[in-house]
């Protein structure tokens, strides 16, 4: 995936790849690799790529995204059904055909555009939705079958086509989930530093899970599974907001910018965002742009420390402030974190905050910690801190070297200060872990540092000396659940064939059962059996694999692993977590499951 190219909507990519003859489809992945190596020159809404000395490829993206197939033009002899146009669409980030109101997406209008209510439509429409769900399920299962190593541009285009079909059928949640899988696959194949295998596994489980449940859902469950094309904004009258912090946004989908978090007098959180197609430069630059609410000239960086008085406010269900024509906003005074009303955010026990996050609430944690020092991990140094007797690992929210996250964390670990208030984002896992977003200044408790935007200096440290990491995490006994989780992740990377060839390691299932994880042992056995199940025809030739069975076996293992990991995370923080059905997952019977 090339961040130099403008985002392309799924329907355009599917159309261009679908128009290729079979001989060109086989060359598409090589064409993508060759194209991304060519320099792209941007001029306003137009991006031009010199395919060779005599041929130019032009992408026209009014509004920041390519929304029509004829907006990608090529001067080669095989155009319009040429490899270059399809390669450009396959290399570009995936654009949103209908923004979903997520904080990591561009601003949307305040007027709601919701999916039809549950039960609306005739039998033909319901049949169309079932067919669309089946198409997405088949396409996603084919991607899982191949793994990221084998899921090239053609399989990606087929999933994008299914996503577009789902959107037209009134299933925006399923469509968005399918697009997220394609984005993750492209990030994996391009070596994107922001790629995380765990995130792609979660995206695959999400799209397969929604597609599996849709045909059988009714009532409120069906409404939730359909989702909405845009989150509706509701009127919220007048608001007096106090700035908390700002964080950069840098996504694998090609969007970048900043989000500023604020709170009202009751502790409710609201966000203001400025996110659009772009890269790291836009993520750092957005902090110094004026927020897009009313006539205020406050920048995001200024708002994170000041306040805002808003009249005629509109707010999304996730607390995102709308920027409609009727909204008025003026600058107001801010307060320190240790002053009211912000002080109350840190008064809630950490366990209660984690419980809320695991049960579907906001994932921000407001913690007061004592830094212990830097520790070494494979992915880089992190900060070990004490939170009321609980050891917590604080890691960077972004690894991009153009952002100051990692250097700030290293300096903060060496600051040598006592109690420190921080804002972090929960990372579910068997050990208390969170992404560090903002912190009190090491030398001034009345000041704060947005760790993804502000850059600490050595002079800011009380001692002025930065010591190297002198600690390593004790290895302890890793939860036996990793035996199943490892196979779930291996399938995402290498596809079915990896599990078919690897087979079950001797004793893996037995070890899971001895640890009280009998279901995990059964799921592991079934996953290997589904991977190895290949029938032959009367001539002894292998028949195509049953991707549906493998997909269902993998989904069962992924859902189970997630549920148990949530329970382990809750136990590590002393919190509670409920499963999908509303009941707390049964805690494994063995202490081997806990990492010490």
pLDDT of residue 350: 94
With H, G, I as helix, E, B as strand and everything else as coil, classify residue 587.
Answer: coil
**Residue 325: how many other CB atoms lie within 10 Å:** 8
| Cα–Cα dist 204/95, whole Å | 19
pLDDT of residue 101: 36
Structure tokens, 106 = 């561009």
DSSP-derived letter for residue 369 is E
Q: Which residues of 294-303 are buried (b: 16+ CB within 10 A; e: fewer)?
A: bebebbbbbb
| Cα–Cα dist 178/162, whole Å | 8
pLDDT of residue 83: 94
Structure tokens, 285 = 């630059």
DSSP for 279-305 reads -HHHHHHGGGSBPSSTT---BHHHHTT
| Cα–Cα dist 444/270, whole Å | 26
| Cα–Cα dist 147/339, whole Å | 51
Q: Which residues of the chain, if any, have pLDDT below 70?
A: 1-3, 98-123, 193, 230-231, 252-253, 379, 416-417, 462-479, 502-506, 577-596
| Cα–Cα dist 439/534, whole Å | 55
| Cα–Cα dist 286/309, whole Å | 22
pLDDT of residue 505: 59
User: 369-399: per-residue pLDDT in tens?
Assistant: 998 888 887 767 889 999 999 999 999 998 8
Q: Which residues of 370-379 are buried (b: 16+ CB within 10 A; e: fewer)?
A: ebeebbeeee
**Residue 121: how many other CB atoms lie within 10 Å:** 15
**Residue 305: how many other CB atoms lie within 10 Å:** 19
| Cα–Cα dist 112/314, whole Å | 11
pLDDT of residue 506: 60
Degrees to nearest 5, angle at CA 146 with 145 and 151? 135
C-alpha distances out from residue 398 to 315, 362, 449, Å: 28, 19, 15
| Cα–Cα dist 471/560, whole Å | 34
pLDDT of residue 480: 84
C-alpha distances out from residue 286 to 3, 222, 439, 586, Å: 17, 38, 20, 45
pLDDT of residue 334: 94
């Amino acid at each position: 995936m090339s961040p130099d190219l403008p985002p392309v909507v799924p329907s355009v990519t599917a159309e261009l790849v679908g128009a290729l003859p079979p001989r060109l489809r086989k060359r598409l992945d090589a064409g993508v690799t060759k194209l991304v190596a060519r320099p792209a020159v941007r001029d306003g809404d137009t991006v031009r790529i010199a395919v060779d000395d005599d041929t130019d490829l032009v992408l026209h993206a009014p509004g920041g995204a390519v929304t029509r197939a004829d907006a990608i033009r090529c001067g080669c002899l095989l155009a319009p059904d040429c490899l270059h146009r399809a390669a450009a669409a396959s290399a570009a980030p995936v654009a949103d055909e209908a923004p979903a109101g997520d904080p990591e997406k561009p601003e949307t209008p305040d007027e709601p555009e919701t999916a039809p209510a549950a039960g609306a439509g005739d039998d033909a429409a319901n049949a169309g939705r079932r067919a669309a769900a089946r198409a997405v399920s088949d396409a996603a299962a084919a991607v899982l079958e191949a793994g990221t190593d084998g899921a090239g541009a053609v399989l990606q285009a087929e999933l994008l086509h299914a996503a577009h079909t789902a959107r037209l059928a009134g299933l925006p949640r399923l469509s968005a989930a399918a697009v997220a899988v394609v984005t993750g696959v492209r990030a994996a194949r391009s070596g994107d530093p922001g790629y995380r295998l765990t995130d792609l596994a979660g995206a695959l489980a999400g799209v397969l899970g929604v597609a599996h449940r849709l045909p059988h859902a009714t009532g409120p469950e069906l409404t939730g599974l359909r989702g909405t094309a845009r989150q509706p904004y509701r009127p919220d009258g007048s608001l007096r907001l106090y700035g908390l912090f700002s964080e950069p946004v840098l996504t694998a989908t090609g969007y970048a910018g900043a989000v500023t978090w604020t709170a009202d007098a009751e502790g409710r959180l609201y966000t203001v965002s400025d996110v659009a197609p772009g890269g790291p430069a836009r993520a750092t630059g957005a902090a110094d742009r004026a927020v897009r609410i009313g006539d205020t000239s406050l920048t995001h960086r200024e708002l994170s420390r000041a306040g805002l008085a808003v009249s005629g406010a509109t707010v999304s269900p996730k607390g995102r402030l709308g920027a409609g024509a009727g909204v008025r906003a003026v600058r107001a005074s801010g307060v320190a974190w240790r002053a009211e009303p912000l002080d109350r955010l840190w008064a809630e026990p950490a366990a209660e905050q984690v419980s809320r996050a695991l049960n579907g609430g906001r994932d921000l944690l407001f913690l007061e910690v004592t830094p212990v020092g830097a520790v070494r991990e494979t992915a880089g140094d992190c900060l070990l801190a004490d939170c009321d007797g609980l050891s917590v690992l604080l890691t960077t929210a972004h690894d991009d070297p153009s952002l100051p996250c990692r250097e700030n964390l290293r300096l903060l670990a060496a600051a040598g200060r006592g109690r420190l208030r921080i804002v972090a984002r929960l990372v579910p896992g068997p050990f208390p872990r969170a992404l560090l977003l903002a912190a009190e200044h090491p030398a001034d408790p009345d000041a704060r540092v947005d760790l993804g935007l502000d850059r600490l200096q050595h002079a800011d440290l009380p001692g002025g000396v930065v010591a190297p990491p002198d600690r390593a995490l004790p290895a302890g006994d890793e939860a036996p659940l990793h035996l199943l989780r490892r196979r779930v992740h291996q399938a995402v990377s290498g596809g079915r064939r990896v599990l078919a060839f690897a087979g079950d390691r001797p004793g893996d299932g037995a070890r899971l059962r001895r640890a009280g994880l009998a279901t995990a042992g059964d799921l592991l056995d079934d996953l290997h059996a589904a991977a190895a199940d290949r029938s032959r025809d009367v001539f002894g030739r292998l028949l195509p694999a049953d991707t549906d069975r493998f997909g269902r076996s993998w989904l069962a293992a992924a859902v189970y692993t997630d549920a148990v990991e949530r329970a382990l995370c809750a136990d590590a923080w002393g919190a509670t977590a409920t499963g999908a059905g509303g009941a707390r997952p049964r805690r494994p019977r063995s202490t081997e499951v806990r990492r010490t």
